[in-house]
Amino acid sequence: MPKQDPQIQRKVEHLFLAEKFFTDESFANFDKIRLLHDALPELRLNDIDLTTDFLGTKVALPIYFNAITGGSRQSDRFNTELAQLAQKLNIPVSSGSMGVYFRLPEETKASFTTLRSNNPKGFVIANVSAKANAQQSQQAVNLIKANALQIHLNALQELAMPEGDQEFMWLDNIKDIVKNVSVPVIVKEVGFGISQINLRQLYQAGVRYVDISGFGGTNFAQIESARNHDLDLSYLDQLSLSTVESLLESRPYQNKMTILASGGIRTPMDVIKALRLGASSVGMSGLVLHHLQKSSLSETETFFEKFIQQLQLIMAAIGAKNINDIKKAPIVLDESLVNYIKQRNLK
Ligand code: FNR
């Protein structure tokens, strides 16, 4: 058997290790927020409207499948099922990083194009690293006729990889991509969160869509340490911001930018709390990966149908007829979050 390309091999290991370390528990801090119910909801469960505006397109739900994979043979099957599920649910779906396609177009093409061919009318998102140039970014968009492009920021992950990048001169490049690519550009983290200062830098660079992708679920410090048997760099995750902390950081930018949230989403309650904290939609990678790995496509679909019913149920309990109403629900933060807001001088 020919030796696998190291970049492709790495993607196979990521899929395997993300599932190996998956737990039902989330560390995203949603448990530190209380949401108060409405004893007089004045609505009918049937009237609840989950439709959501996602970057100007109407989709069925306030959730999306965030970047996971592509490039390997294993990812071919996975992305096919992911696309089918996204089509059934009518929610956006993202590709994993498409960088490998620039080097090995013929070997890796099908694992990406399956996202579009199995979901011809859906909202599909291309994904590149912050060092891809504008031309490559457009090439990634064209390959899957993407409706949007994600640029991932993964400095901590690269630092935890022995073969990782050592240069992180990204801002000018991001500016260039935003200016020259034909679709809206989302800048996202990969599970370590984004601070207010970084949001300001991104805003000044022309970015209008950010997925704060905070700490609490898939943990690349842990995954890369497991891949590297010589050195444990998992302590790097202590430098991260949780999804909830990152959403609190994003407050002053929520009327200037579209803030998306991901990282450690496990339950419908996590989704509702993320929306309450200002996210316009909520992404998940680890959770859908876990279900598609351990069960069939139709069982995963059943899992998400129940998930959706519970979103409706929580909305009824807080008196929210639609996604915008969720933003009005009263919340109480625990002391550690109040302390975080105080020390970070957040409004
Ligand atoms: C990812 N993630 C990711 N993100 C990205 O922008 N490009 C990528 O190629 C990948 N690759 C990838 C592989 C695997 C196996 C997983 C599980 C995740 C990160 C992902 O989009 C998300 O930001 C984080 O995983 C946090 O969300 P969850 O997993 O906690 O829901």
Mean pLDDT of 100-118: 97
3-state secondary structure of 234: helix
Average pLDDT value for the chain: 97
| Closest Cα to atom 27 of ligand 1 | 263
User: What percent of the chain clears pLDDT 70, i.e. is strictly above it?
Assistant: 99
Encoded tokens for 148: 């949007």
What confidence category does residue 62 fall into, taking pLDDT thresholds of 50, 70 and 90? very high
Residue 157 to residue 99: CA distance in whole angstroms: 16
Ligand 1 centroid to Cα of residue 48, in Å, is: 30
For ligand 1, pick from 19, 285, 289, 307 the residue to mutate: most ligand atoms within 8 Å of CB.
Answer: 285
pLDDT reading at 13 higher than 60: yes
What pLDDT is attached to residue 228? 85
| Closest Cα to atom 13 of ligand 1 | 68
What confidence category does residue 1 fall into, taking pLDDT thresholds of 50, 70 and 90? very low
The answer to whether the complex's ipTM is over 0.85 is: yes
Mean pLDDT of 134-158: 98
Give yes or no for residue 96 CB within 6 A of ligand 1. yes
| Closest Cα to atom 22 of ligand 1 | 190
Mean pLDDT of 180-185: 98
What pLDDT is attached to residue 163? 87
Determine the residue type at 304: F
Opening angle at CA 84, ends 125 and 183, nearest 5: 15
Handedness of CA 137, 140, 143, 145 (dihedral sign): negative
- Total-model pTM: 0.98
pLDDT reading at 347 higher than 90: no
The model's pLDDT over 285-331, given as tens digits with 9 standing for 90+, comes to 999 999 999 999 999 999 999 999 999 999 999 999 999 999 999 99
Please report, for residues 91, 155, 255, 328, the alpha-carbon distance to residue 216 in angstroms, rounded to integers and kept in the order given. 23, 17, 25, 25
Ligand 1 centroid to Cα of residue 263, in Å, is: 8
Give yes or no for residue 17 CB within 6 A of ligand 1. no
User: Which is higher by pLDDT, 231 or 151?
Assistant: 151
Mean pLDDT of 103-123: 97
Residue 119 to residue 82: CA distance in whole angstroms: 9
What confidence category does residue 2 fall into, taking pLDDT thresholds of 50, 70 and 90? low
Q: Are 180 and 216 in contact (CB under 8 A)?
A: no
φ/ψ (deg, to 5) at 245: -60, -45
